[in-house]
A and B are shown apart, each in its own frame.
Chain A
Amino acid sequence: MPDHDLMQTFPAAPEKMVTLENWRLPPFNRWAYQHVSELVPSAQIWHGVGPAWALPRASMDLGDIAYTDHTGAAATFNQYLDRHETDGICVIHHGEIIAEHYRNGLQAHRPHILMSVSKSITALVIGILVEHGKLDPAAGITHLIPEVAGSAFGDCTLQHLLDMTAGVDFTEDYLADAGPITEYREVSNWKPSSNPANPGDLRSWLCTLKKSGEHGAAFHYVSPCTDLLGWVIERATGRPYAEMVSELLWQPMGAEFDGYVTVDRHGAPRTAGGVCLCLRDLARVGQMMLENGQANGRQVVPQSWVADSRFNGDKAAWAAGESAASNPAGSYRNKWWVMGDGHGAYTGIGVFGQYLWIDPVASLVIAKFASEPLPTDDNVSLDTARCFQAVGQALA
């Protein structure tokens, strides 16, 4: 059952109504993150007609696995789930689903927003297209997208976008209620337009972003870079992003459910954060990464792309970047956060508590959906890493 009283009557009382204006923030996100298509237009990511990639099950109680939280106090896996507005968690160990829990009314068949774990999905499609010879990571992108020639992206490469090392004048301030990030929300259909007569669109807006610093020099997390990757995928293939995710990833992987991605007024997908998937399917993506790109008996993502993502992060760019202080050992490659821990763990991370954590040494995947009260919180990030690392230690 939902643990809130939003949208529970017909109609909802005004103060219990989730709207395009309020959906991203608490308490409304508790309902909204599993009903995104009801708020924002979206394109279907079809799972195809084939059978789902079957994952065997084994029961294991992870609840008492202990970690040390950011205050230094002892805590357990169950306490972590309780404290962090968990909507769903699916854990795979050695290819078996050992835990799968839904909370807050989420159901297995209901897609939940990935936020920036969307980026990791988008980059996998890029990796497949690189293998197909349709894209070159080292190439500039203006030959594909001449529209961005005069913007920050005029002289950047695909790899800069993949690694968040493009020098772009943009601040990722999720709680700002004015400035570029609110424009970003408006043009991507995530917020009512403040200028309904001329609401703009995501891709025109991308072309207005200005350069700041040198490309390739430092890690600088700019979500719109990943929306540009969605545009690159569509240009390189001549097909809609949602269809390419379906055809290159979702169908061959053996996804069990359809997913979707939010789109702007012109149909441009928000590939940086608007992908919504069912939890088990997100866990399947993790298992595929663990199996070096193989899923459902076939090579879906190139093995070399998985290895490149895990091992080839630019340490110098990371050290020069904005996130080094929180994890000096880390790096970022192809839209994955590489932890730099002893297990070689890496993860996709989305605001408000979305994770796809992969621990190759423990053969562990943790897919987690949440609707946390804050978009980012260093303490929560620390707790999450420690908790998931403790699970990895326990299962290794």
Chain B
Amino acid sequence: MTVTPTNFQDRPHSAWGFHHVRELHPTAQVWRGAGPVWDLPTQTSDLEDVTFEGADGQSTTLTAMMAEPVHDGLLVLHKGTAVYEAYGNGMRPQDPHILMSTTKSFAGSLAGILAEQGVLDLNADVADLVADLKGTAYGGATVRQVLDMRVGLDYSEDYTDPKCDFAYMDAACGWRPPVEPGAPDNLLDHIRTIRSAPPHGGAFHYVSPTALVMGWVLEAATGETFAELVSRLIWQPMGAEFDGDLALDRCHRSQTEGGLNVTLRDLARFGELHRLGGTANGTRIVPEAWITDIRENGDPDAWDAGTMADIMPGHHYRAMWYTNRSHPHRPMMTMGAFGQTVYADPVAELTIAKLSSFPNAGDELFGEMFRCLQAITDALHGD
């Protein structure tokens, strides 16, 4: 049984493929730098016995859940200490794992860093920054609208529909076989096919190519690749333990919508720095105001009118992060297809990183995962 560039997202291939993406696709190095690692102390806990409602509706425990072969890694940081760290499917601490759309949140945090530095104007038209976007449906959209996924597009992203617009993107980046002969075989050409649906700035509309646009805006604004930006602005100052890598399409476009691969521990560090208001090990990484803005300033009406309100009511989306605004702790989180999440709860002083190979992109196992996150929160915080 061979895992290939175009089947690696399907079970059973994903159980290996999701932590071997660089062996399937071209990738750019995300260097960790030469500095010291941000040490995460460890401490044993009784979290493994935490119970919650499993996917089958029956009560389950963390240990029982992690024994299922669709969970590749779970790390829980409480007050900065690793109180649970487990791996599945042969994944090891040093193996980078695909983040899918959790990659988008890296773009969102980088935007905050670069806006603070005056390098990125949030009010600029993205087509003025990236010349290739002129004449596309993204023309006239501001960086802010792109960050919040409020671009007026006619685009369907339904992971259960193999003919939806997103399916063409999945094929364009080489991650699926062509949907049909002659369809775009690279990401820019795919973006050129996206239809406009004015106006910009309306409802939340989850469109993965919008995060491609965001990443390419960052590259254009800095003259650095997305992989270099993650390294210079996050990975090095944060004290990442391992290099990561970023998948590239056949035209060397950075897959800033879903192509980042990092280890479980480093994903937890990334979440932890957000939990801490933007600092890692005492070093300022992301402006505190940017994180406050993410948690406080998402537009609830845009969310309620948007494409995900039915499955995740009471949230909002801001700078490519989700916030659960109906939760008393207002946790912020990322979400990637097939179960990739980092969850940061400043009130409970809790950060959880989860890497998975769920059978489906938008799997019902997400429900189990969220119940698991809440059970861990209750066990450690207990309000």
Contact = CB atoms under 8 A, between A and B. Distances in A.
Interface string B225-261: 1000000000000000001010010111100000000
Nearest to B231: A109
A265 B216 CA distance: 29
Interface string B250-292: 1111000000000000000000000000000000000000000
A18 B22 contact: no
Q: Chain B contact residues: over half helix, strand or loop, or mixed?
A: loop
A11 B24 contact: no
Given A37-B27, A109-B31, A43 B22 contact: yes
A40 interface: yes
Contact of A263 (B23, B31, B130, B223): B23
Contact of A41 (B23, B31, B243): B23
Contact of A42 (B23, B132, B253): B23
A42 B188 CA distance: 24
Nearest to B130: A10
Interface in B93-130: 94, 96, 130
B191 to A, nearest CB: 12
Interface string B13-50: 00000001011111111010010000000000000000
Contacts of B188: 11
Q: Most chain-A CB neighbours within 10 Å: which of B23, B34, B188, B253?
A: B23
Contacts of A110: 29, 31
Interface residues of A, number: 28
Contacts, number: 65
A332 to B, nearest CB: 31
Given A38-B28, A44-B22, A109-B31, A7 B252 contact: yes
Nearest to B3: A267
A183 interface: no
Nearest to B219: A10
Contacts of B132: 11
B293 to A, nearest CB: 27
B133 to A, nearest CB: 11
A17 B253 CA distance: 11
A9 B219 CA distance: 9
Interface of A: 7, 9-12, 17-20, 35, 37-44, 46, 109-111, 258, 260, 263, 265-267
13 contacts: A7-B252, A10-B219, A11-B132, A11-B188, A12-B252, A37-B27, A38-B27, A38-B28, A41-B22, A43-B22, A110-B29, A263-B23, A267-B20
